[in-house]
Amino acid sequence: MGYGIRLKIWGDFACFTRPEMKVERVSYDVLTPSAARGILEAIYWKPAIRWVVDKIHVLNEIKFDNIRRNEVGSKIPERKVKTAMKGKPVELCQYAGEDRQQRATLLLRDVAYIIEAHFELTEKAGADDSEKKHYNIVLRRARQGQCFHHPYLGCREFPAHFELIEGEIPESCYKGTTKDLGWMLFDIEYKNNMTPKFFRATMCNGIINVPDMFKEEVRL
């Protein structure tokens, strides 16, 4: 295991969308490992490292709310993008006013989590890359609140606040309880035709232990 960090994440709203819901947005009960990795990569990412999420601590009570949001009903066709890449003139834009749709969203309110994670060096690491070097950079950026882009809680309109935890971890409101959260999206293998992987999430004392991506607990 490489160098690890503990990061507190919180925000007013969050939506970690279930992929089986095709139209309406319905959130998982808690932060997913893929969303946690996205938050870590927003703070610090390099081709030389790979973030691995170990644990997710759920600090606040799980509370849902319903809202309606404006979304566009279509996306720019792939053929138009390929035409533009060949240097040919093509209209690459959408007019939101003409394509607007209202959709219901079942989201989370007043969320707070702690992400325990570590990083590992990849095959793209060079001679100058070391775990200690990247670890010190991560600590400096997290302490100062620096990020490549502002992290968000599932959707970009739900910004995430973050801080580095260097002392004791705050206690979860679910201490002393066990809750089966069912099958949850683990991550997506982009190198394998964007294949989604799932795992059976169980929250014990407010903590979800995230399995290794290549273990048998993680399934297609």
Task: Give the Cα separation of 138 and 177 in Å (integer).
Answer: 33
Beta strands 207-209 and 195-204 are antiparallel
Q: Indicate the average pLDDT of the chain.
A: 90
What does the DSSP 8-state code read for residue 213? T
Q: What is the pLDDT of residue 217?
A: 61
Q: What is the pLDDT of residue 215?
A: 61
pLDDT at 26 > cutoff 60: yes
Q: What is the pLDDT of residue 93?
A: 85
Task: Please tell me the least confidently modeled range out of 1-10, 49-58, 196-205.
Answer: 1-10
Domains of the chain: 4-70+104-209 (3.30.70.2660)
pLDDT digits (tens, 9 = 90+) for 33-74: 999 999 999 999 999 999 999 999 999 999 999 998 888 888
Q: What is the pLDDT of residue 16?
A: 96
pLDDT digits (tens, 9 = 90+) for 108-141: 999 999 999 999 998 998 888 899 999 999 999 9
Task: Please tell me the least confidently modeled range out of 74-83, 91-100, 102-111, 145-154.
Answer: 91-100
Question: How far, rounded to the nearest angstrom, does the alpha carbon of residue 28 sit from its chain's CA centroid?
Answer: 12
Count of alpha carbons within 13 angstroms of residue 146, beta-carbon side: 9
36 with 57: CB under 8 angstroms?
no
pLDDT at 169 > cutoff 50: yes
Stated as kind and residue range, the H or E segment containing 135 is helix 131-144
Q: What is the pLDDT of residue 1?
A: 45
Which of 109 and 191 is assigned the larger pLDDT?
A: 109
Angle at 3 (CA atoms; ends 175, 168), nearest 5 degrees: 30
pLDDT at 186 > cutoff 50: yes
Task: Give the Cα separation of 49 and 99 in Å (integer).
Answer: 40
Q: What is the pLDDT of residue 204?
A: 96
Question: Taking the model in full, what pTM does it have?
Answer: 0.86
Q: What is the pLDDT of residue 214?
A: 61
159 with 46: CB under 8 angstroms?
no
Q: What is the pLDDT of residue 219?
A: 67
pLDDT at 84 > cutoff 70: yes
Residues 146-156 have a mean pLDDT of 94
DSSP 3-state percent helix, strand, coil across the chain (nearest 5): 15, 40, 40
Q: What is the pLDDT of residue 216?
A: 56
